[in-house]
Structure 1
Amino acid sequence: MEHESKNKVDGMEMEKGKKESGSRKGLELTMRVLALVLTMVAATVLGVAKQTKVVPIKLIPTLPPLNVSTTAKASYLSAFVYNISANAIACGYTAISIVIVMISKGKRSKSLLMAVLIGDLMMVALLFSSTGAAGAIGLMGRHGNKHVMWKKVCGVFGKFCNQAAVSVAITLIASVVFMLLVVLDALKLP
């Protein structure tokens, strides 16, 4: 007597060893390409963010202000460096996972599915944490902090702050895409 093992996926039975549906694989591939593009763009936008301004600094109230050229760069803030690094790591992982998805042609073992699921979960955690870190520093730059006497810097470095905000928003969208990939991966598990 021949016994075939079947898995339930979205209410439909699928025999083990058979390929997953083309639309599901296409959706996964599309989402992975979207995640690749989003993480690459977020890392690039923040990585090239730089603005130089001449800022008047008043040392003594009776003297005229001293004009000092000041530059704002993402590499000056560790939270922004972390965000760039997290996006670069997620981008590299996504490129590898796209290759795995394309090579597997829908036939994936449980261990490969688990490896991709765990990788996607790690990217969710990494991207959400970097979004939080960069977002917190961005808010500090936009609003300042009266308790520690940090001044608002986005009034001076508006272009830099806007680029940082766009990068953080794109990273957040990439995090959500990875979260959806985790759900999609979890639905494939037997």
Structure 2
Amino acid sequence: MEVESKTSFGGMESKSKEVKVVTGGKLRPFDLVLRVVALALTLVAAVLLGLDKQTKVVSLQILPTLPPMDAPVTAKWRYLSAFVYFVVSNAIACSYAALSLLLSVGNSKGNKGLGLAITVMDLVMVALLYSSTGAAGAIGLMGYEGNSRVRWGKVCNVFGKFCNQVAVALGLSFFGGLAFFLLVVMAAFAVNKRH
């Protein structure tokens, strides 16, 4: 919105145009939808991997001269630090999405400082989610393909349900990070429009 103003200085008048930017006042519906989507995706990703557990009976051969022994083996997300990081990161992002949703709704007066803080934290959530998704994805790939150099065998052929839930959680978290990224892009475009 443009506003004309007259100023006088030392008996001389000058006209100048100021551009006032209205940052708040009305809520952007797409912003709220993306925050709700990010909240839902990160919540489901954290719960899906946090509840992921599978037990199988596996034949183990301790010595070549002894017969194989059947033992129950359990795959849990807590056994790998990358999965722990993933669950905690998604829980943090989900909590932040809920908080930022409330702050965005409560920021109807357009507090610029709060808007900037929310945008910066959205960017932090993008980094957090993508780093945890990358870490968990690397371990998931190791479980799917194995690594003959360090003698890690494939485990997804035994723990198929566990690996499938990990894959779905990774996809959900990726799209949750994408929702936060789109929020940052929208904020950047809004700043660009103002100037």
- TM-score under structure 2 length normalisation: 0.86
Residue deviations 1:107-133, cap 9 Å, x none? Answer: 322211210110000000000000000
Percent of residue pairs bearing the same amino acid type: 49
1:6 aligns with 2:4: no
Name the aligned partner's letter for residue 19 of structure 2: K
The unaligned stretches of length 5 or more in structure 1 are 8-14
What is the 5 A alignment of 1:1-190? Answer: 1=5, 5-6=18-19, 15-16=21-22, 19-20=25-26, 25-105=28-108, 107-189=109-191, 190=194
SS in 1 for 2:73: strand
Separation (CA, whole Å) in 2 of partners of 1:74 and 1:65: 27
Separation (CA, whole Å) in 1 of partners of 2:80 and 2:17: 57
Shift of 1:186: 1.8
Contact 1:143 1:152 in 2 (8 A): yes
Residue deviations 1:124-165, cap 9 Å, x none? Answer: 000000000000000000000010000000011110011111
Name the aligned partner's letter for residue 45 of structure 1: L
- TM-score under structure 1 length normalisation: 0.88
Separation (CA, whole Å) in 2 of partners of 1:174 and 1:40: 9
Contact 1:40 1:91 in 2 (8 A): yes
Q: Report the number of matched residues.
A: 179
Residue deviations 1:30-88, cap 9 Å, x none? Answer: 00000000000000000000000110001233432100111000011000000000000
Separation (CA, whole Å) in 2 of partners of 1:153 and 1:68: 15
SS in 2 for 1:56: strand
SS in 1 for 2:110: coil
Separation (CA, whole Å) in 2 of partners of 1:162 and 1:41: 14
Name the aligned partner's letter for residue 44 of structure 2: V
Quick check: which has more Rg, 1 or 2?
2
Q: CA distance change for structure 1 residues 53 and 123 in 2, over 3 Å: closer, same or farther?
A: same
Separation (CA, whole Å) in 2 of partners of 1:92 and 1:4: 43
Shift of 1:5: 4.2
The unaligned stretches of length 5 or more in structure 2 are 7-15
Q: CA distance change for structure 1 residues 63 and 44 in 2, over 3 Å: closer, same or farther?
A: same
Contact 1:6 1:16 in 2 (8 A): no
> Superposition RMSD on alpha carbons, in Å?
1.7
SS in 2 for 1:146: coil
Shift of 1:188: 2.5
